[in-house]
Amino acid sequence: MVIKCIVSYDGTNYKGWQIQPGLKTVQQEIEDALALIHGGGRIEITASGRTDAQVHAIGQVFHFETMKEMEMDKWKYKLNRLLPKDIRIREVVLEKDDFHARFSCVSKRYDYYISLDDENPFVRNYMCVEKRKLDTDAMKEAAMVFVGTHDFTSFTSSKIHEEKSRVRTISECSVHVFDDHIQLIFRGDGFLRYQVRMMAQTIIETGLHHLEVKDVKRMLDACDKHACRYKAAACGLYLVEVNY
């Protein structure tokens, strides 16, 4: 049977989601817990996508296959008892056999947080800190450049295989201003590696008047992996929601 889990985690102390030999990762912690529940042997999990080192998640989704019969609430209880406190299983659901956490996904939401309080030591692992004055109206204009269906070659890692499509549809890219922080919301049918962090820092650079909106559009239209040299700090990024 196929089991889907929704998991939240604080990425501060992890080298990302994906298993890497000799490094502490979120996937490794969960698979170790599942192995204990199953009495040994690896139980492989598949996520909706990877998150980088120090990136957080509120609603990451993964699935695994098992022959072990157990109530969904008991799966949740046992996993949370075995997992470290900075990884929490929020929901466990029995899915159809053809469900796939990655390939069944139709859209995702990421949020990026910018703290405006440079004197607060407690946000540095959870927000990008920017003490310089930001022009939020310019940021909002820059964000709108990304909305729609575009080739995002300029806003992704150069390591992506040349045959993989860089075309994605962004349904929301918005800027929300609060007294002590700014929240960027990105919704789309999918995101390339580093895409959200690169878009986020480009929006920030526009707010600092290092770029104009026309520069952002020029970068996007260039479809050139060298066009954007910006990438926001990982700690401000959250995978909020995965939709199926």
| Digit-coded pLDDT (tens) for 131-181 | 999 999 999 999 999 999 999 999 998 676 777 899 999 999 999 999 999
Rounded to an integer, what distance in angstroms lies between the CA atom of residue 59 and that of residue 229?
29
CA angle (174, 153, 233) in 5-degree steps: 55
Architecture of the CATH domain 107-243: 2-Layer Sandwich (3.30)
pTM of the model: 0.95
Lookup: tokens for 128 = 């990008």
pLDDT band at 3 (very low <50, low <70, confident <90, very high): very high
In 10 A of CB 97, how many CB atoms? 7
- Residue ranges covered by each domain of the chain: 2-95, 107-243
Model pLDDT, residue 84: 98
SS3 235: helix
CA angle (153, 206, 170) in 5-degree steps: 45
pLDDT band at 198 (very low <50, low <70, confident <90, very high): very high
Residue 178's φ and ψ, nearest 5 degrees, are -125, 175
Lookup: tokens for 176 = 């929300």
| Digit-coded pLDDT (tens) for 50-101 | 999 999 999 999 999 999 999 999 999 999 999 999 999 999 999 999 999 9
Rounded to an integer, what distance in angstroms lies between the CA atom of residue 13 and that of residue 94?
30
Rounded to an integer, what distance in angstroms lies between the CA atom of residue 199 and that of residue 197?
6
- Give yes or no on whether 2-95 and 107-243 have one common fold: yes
When the candidates are 3.10.105.10, 3.30.70.580, 3.40.50.2300, 3.40.50.620, the CATH number that belongs to 2-95 is 3.30.70.580
Of 10, 32, 52, 98, which residue is the catalytic one?
52
Q: What percent of the chain has pLDDT over 70?
A: 99
CA angle (1, 49, 176) in 5-degree steps: 125
180 is catalytic: no
Model pLDDT, residue 41: 85
**143, 211 Cβ separation under 8 angstroms:** no
Give yes or no for residue 26 having a pLDDT over 90: yes
Q: Strand 128-129 relative to strand 107-115: parallel, antiparallel, unpaired?
A: parallel
**131, 115 Cβ separation under 8 angstroms:** no
Query: DSSP character for 154?
Result: G
- Beta-bridge partners for 122: none
pLDDT band at 127 (very low <50, low <70, confident <90, very high): very high
Lookup: tokens for 133 = 């004055």
